[in-house]
């Protein structure tokens, strides 16, 4: 088992009621889990708890939270530095926001690689270019010379994904990685993301509010509502036999595409 999360709860602020309660899930190596649910249901909170990066005075408790044999709540700051960006990495809704607009993509990508490895500048640059090529970005040298504002949203997301998978993480966390993109680009990026993770045995947790995308990508689904899990299990089982009324309603709302239901 790569990741075990049992009875996770998260609160923002000491005397506040918990935002997320009783969340449990399991992930094997290379498996894809999609977390689905309406805005405010706690999806981002779950992802951030896994990264130990809850903002706003957030703190979590869990019966168990094991990643690759390591007990996450007990890790030191230096353990976290070794883990983040390497074994455990993250893709955001718009990778452009994560990057510095006044430095070229190349400078930031090379720095990122050098922070997490012993590679020299030239080798780091070559690796960055190779990762961009792997994400179907033509002319990687051009992109490395560019600034984030010079790229389209889809290209920025591909750069973000390229960075996140550079060190073949065991687990990739993706928080609505395509929701800022147009539908055609979304579909491409989803396909590429799946291809690169499946190809390297990287497991992924992807937050999305698109149940169609989730069903297409994920081995397992977790449906959240008001900070709780209302359905969790293998994707096909949930699609065929959803337990909660909420999931049933979500499934009814998935549009048919070209006469075929997308799920």
Residue ranges that bind ligand ADP, judged by CB under 6 A: 12, 19, 37, 39-45, 55-56, 58
Least Å distance, CB 255 to ligand ADP, is: 21
Min dist CB 41 to ligand ADP, Å, is 4
Pick between residue 135 and residue 205 the one whose CB is nearest to Mg ion: 205
49 vs 203, beta carbon nearer ligand ADP: 49
Q: Which is nearer to Mg ion, 8 or 131 (CB)?
A: 8
Decide which of ligand ADP, Mg ion, none touches 17; Cβ closer than 5 to 8 Å per partner kind.
Answer: none
Q: Which residue is nearest to Mg ion (CB)?
A: 44
Query: In angstroms, what is the minimal distance from the CB of 220 to Mg ion?
Result: 19
56 touches which of Mg ion, ligand ADP, none (CB within 5 to 8 A by kind)? ligand ADP
Q: Using the rule CB under 5 A, is 44 a contact of Mg ion?
A: yes
Q: How many chain residues interact with Mg ion (CB under 5 A)?
A: 1
Q: Least distance from C-beta 174 to ligand ADP, angstroms?
A: 12
The answer to whether 7 and 62 have CB atoms below 8 angstroms apart is yes
Q: Distance of alpha carbon 81 from its chain centroid, rounded?
A: 18
Minimum gap (Å) between residue 111 Cβ and ligand ADP: 28
- Residue 197: which of ligand ADP, Mg ion, none does it interact with, CB under 5 to 8 A by kind? none
Q: What does residue 201 show for φ and ψ, rounded to 5 degrees?
A: 70, 20
Determine the interface stretch with Mg ion among 6-14, 39-47, 101-109, 240-248 (rule: CB under 5 A). Answer: 39-47
- The listed partner (Mg ion, ligand ADP, none) that binds 41, CB under 5 to 8 Å by sort, is ligand ADP
179 binds Mg ion, rule: CB under 5 A: no
Strands 220-225, 203-207: pairing kind: unpaired
DSSP the chain: --EEEEEEEEEESTTSPPSEEEEEEEE-TT-EEEEEE-TTSSHHHHHHHHTT---TTEEEE-SEEEETTEEGGG--HHHHHHHBTTTEEEE-S-HHHHS-TTS-HHHHHHHHHHHTS---HHHHHHHHHHHHHHTT-S-HHHHHHS-GGGS-HHHHHHHHHHHHTTT--SEEEEESTTTTS-HHHHHHHHHHHHHHHHHHT-EEEEE-S-HHHHHHH-SEEEEEETTEEEEEEEHHHHHHS--SHHHHHHHHHSPEETTEE--
Nearer to ligand ADP, 166 or 210 (CB): 210
198-257: which residues touch Mg ion (CB under 5 A)?
Answer: none
Please choose which of Mg ion, ligand ADP, none residue 85 contacts, taking the beta carbon within 5 to 8 angstroms, the exact cut-off set by kind: none
């Amino acid at each position: 088992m790569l990741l075990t999360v049992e009875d996770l709860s998260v609160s923002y602020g000491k005397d506040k009621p918990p935002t997320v309660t009783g969340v449990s899930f399991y992930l094997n190596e290379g498996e894809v889990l999609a977390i689905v649910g309406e805005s405010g249901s706690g999806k981002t909170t779950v992802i951030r708890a896994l990264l130990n990066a809850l903002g706003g005075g957030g703190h979590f408790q869990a019966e168990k939270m094991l990643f690759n044999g390591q007990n996450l709540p007990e890790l030191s700051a230096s353990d976290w530095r070794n883990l983040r960006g390497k074994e455990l990495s993250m893709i955001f809704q718009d990778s452009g926001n994560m990057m510095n607009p006044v430095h070229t993509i190349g400078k930031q990508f090379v720095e990122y690689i050098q922070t997490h490895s012993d590679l020299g500048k030239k080798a780091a640059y070559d690796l960055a270019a190779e990762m961009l090529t792997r994400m179907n970005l033509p002319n990687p040298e051009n992109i490395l010379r560019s600034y984030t504002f010079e790229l389209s949203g889809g290209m920025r997301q591909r750069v973000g994904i390229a960075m996140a998978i550079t060190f073949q993480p065991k687990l990739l966390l993706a928080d609505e990685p395509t929701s800022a993109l147009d539908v055609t680009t979304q579909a491409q990026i989803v396909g590429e993301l799946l291809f690169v993770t499946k190809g390297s045995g990287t497991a992924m947790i992807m937050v999305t509010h698109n149940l169609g995308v989730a069903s297409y990508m994920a081995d397992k689904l977790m449906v959240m509502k008001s900070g709780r899990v209302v359905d969790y299990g293998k994707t096909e089982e949930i699609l065929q036999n959803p337990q909660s009324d909420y999931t049933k309603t979500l499934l009814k709302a998935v549009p048919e595409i070209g006469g075929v239901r997308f799920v």
